[in-house]
Chain A
Amino acid sequence: MTKQTVLNATHRAAGAKMVDFGGWDMPLHYGSQIEEHHAVRRDAGMFDVSHMTVVDLHGARCREFLGHLLANDIGKSKKPGKAIYSCMLNERGGVIDDLITYYLEEDAGQGWPAREAGASATAEAKASPDIRRTGRVESAHDSADSKREWFRVVVNAATRDKDLAWIGKQAAAYGVEVTERPELAMIAVQGPNARAKVLGLLHADDRGRVDKLGKFVATEARGPNDMPLFIARTGYTGEDGFEIIVPEQHAVALWDALAAAGVRPAGLGARDTLRLEAGMNLYGQDMDEDITPWEAGLGWTVALESAVHDRELGGRDFIGRAALEKQSAAGVPRELVGVVLEDKGVLRHGQRVVTPSGDGEILSGIFSPTLGKAIGFARVPTGAREGLRVDIRGRELPLRVVKYPFVRDGKSCI
């Protein structure tokens, strides 16, 4: 059965065209995908991303656990609220998922927002009880230490089950408690005017603090009617903005307040064209369990340098590290490049790319609304830069290799 977010009826009432996305009934667009795309680039748009999975990690050895689980180094996150983007790898160095991890602090309790007794119907639909909680609780976790650190991870919806299984399996050895938070909804508000529009809805006492929030940092704030919000200055569009986590009983009120403030609802279609223009990978299309970060343009997220806690060992022993080092030494056979089609036409996932050193393929491909031409990611033999052509229905058209992002701050970079 298809799962629904708490905003499902709101989307339908707005005339959204709904599609199945990773088992979720989600809005593709509300009339015109291209207009929604432009609204985010020029003003402010919002996306229901409540299908994404929020997982909280508690326990004295969390940091050590994340040092083992993630290819990026959580040690880079030095202040509470700071997030890192990372791949979670298997032993072969393949990408199980890409995710964001927030380093947070708490005085006591379960972390923010507090879990409420009796999960709602939607929460029940999202969580199967058997994997809602894995691992075991360290006694240290219950001690009355002043400020305990904890972590919040946001993973992809389509990979939820395998992610929770993998995280739970790895967490057991560290005594880390893994708690899914299906009762939390998430709304991404993105665009040059997104932050101002959100700030206007916050409690006056919180505005200044949220206004000063640095990029890739999260904090707590009170929204309309004092509803509790977890606000992060992150996103998946290349625009400034916030991703807001809110208890689902407040999600519709928040969405309506944002709409009243002039934030335009945007669907998954616009989300895809925006993220590709911004040069961001999509799990399942640009990388998967058989692709290493080296082959997916994600080398910048792999921290091979030693982490603070085990510098003397010469580096963190994160899962997949040995395989990555082996591939580096042997030579990475293929890599991800940004490509532009100067001719008319559209790049699509799976199209064959012909290069002088062998065939490759289009991974993500779209018609870019900002640029008015087709752009994409291609996986090609390492070093192939010239003489690339794409096979579109039997016709071979030239591709230009470009640095990405393709679009930054609403302007072309190519």
Chain B
Amino acid sequence: MSDIPGDLKFQKSHEWARVEDAGQVRVGISDHAQELLGDLVYVELPKVGDKVEAGASCAVVESVKAASDIYAPVSGEVVAVNGALADKPETINEDAYGDGWLFVVKAGNPDELDALLGPDDYAELIENDEH
């Protein structure tokens, strides 16, 4: 069972969100998600300046197995994307909670974060996933 950093919030669809300075929220996929997907081979990210909406698809990650939509955990404007993933999508497999981040959103409505799961609740969710 992988260690889940305590400062993260999660969606049931396995995206993580980390609140950083000035209301910015960094987004990635969980270690559990990358394990389910297998080797990542392609990432389609939003552009800086794009508006994303909580719960709406805004990116795609593709593994050797399948393509998966990434849903924004919060609404707002994209202020940074992880361009290094274009050439090294496997970074997500290697470091899902660190260098494998996807994009940063300047959150328009920080209250949306309250709807996300805490690390313990997420750990419980994926444990149940594994029957």
Contacts and interface: CB of A to CB of B under 8 A. Distances in A.
A406 to B, nearest CB: 16
Contacts of A393: 44, 60
B67 A28 contact: no
A346 B38 contact: no
Given A17-B38, A33-B39, A367-B41, A348 B67 contact: yes
Contacts of A269: 38, 64-65
B77 interface: no
A346 B42 contact: yes
A344 interface: yes
Contacts of A367: 41-42, 62, 64
B86 interface: yes
The binding surface of chain B is classed by DSSP as mixed
Contacts of A346: 41-42, 62, 67
Nearest to A372: B41
A364 interface: no
B38 A29 contact: yes
A393 B57 CA distance: 12
Contacts of B42: 344-346, 367
Nearest to A32: B39
Contacts of A29: 38
Contacts of B64: 33-34, 269, 273, 366-367
B38 A28 contact: yes
Interface string A381-396: 0000000000001000
A279 to B, nearest CB: 19
Most buried by A among B39, B42, B62, B93: B39
A273 B63 CA distance: 13
Interface in B77-126: 86, 90, 93
A385 B90 CA distance: 33
A119 B38 CA distance: 37
Interface string B22-64: 0000000000000000110110100000000000000010101
Contact of A33 (B38, B60, B62, B86): B38
Contacts of B60: 393
Interface in A18-77: 28-29, 32-34
Contacts of A273: 64
Interface string A352-377: 00000000000000110000000000
A344 B44 CA distance: 9
A269 B42 CA distance: 17
A34 B40 CA distance: 10
A344 B45 CA distance: 12
A28 B64 CA distance: 11
Contact of B39 (A34, A344, A345, A348): A34
A80 B10 CA distance: 62
A57 to B, nearest CB: 37
Nearest to B35: A17
Nearest to A395: B44
Contacts of B44: 345, 393
Contacts of B39: 32-34
18 contacts: A28-B38, A29-B38, A32-B93, A33-B39, A33-B64, A34-B41, A269-B38, A273-B64, A344-B86, A345-B62, A346-B41, A346-B42, A346-B62, A348-B67, A367-B41, A367-B42, A367-B62, A393-B44
Which A-B residue pairs are the 4 nearest by beta carbons? A367-B41, A34-B39, A346-B62, A33-B64
Interface of B: 38-39, 41-42, 44, 60, 62, 64-67, 86, 90, 93
Given A28-B65, A34-B39, A269-B64, 9 more contacts: A28-B38, A29-B38, A32-B39, A33-B39, A33-B65, A34-B90, A348-B67, A367-B41, A367-B64
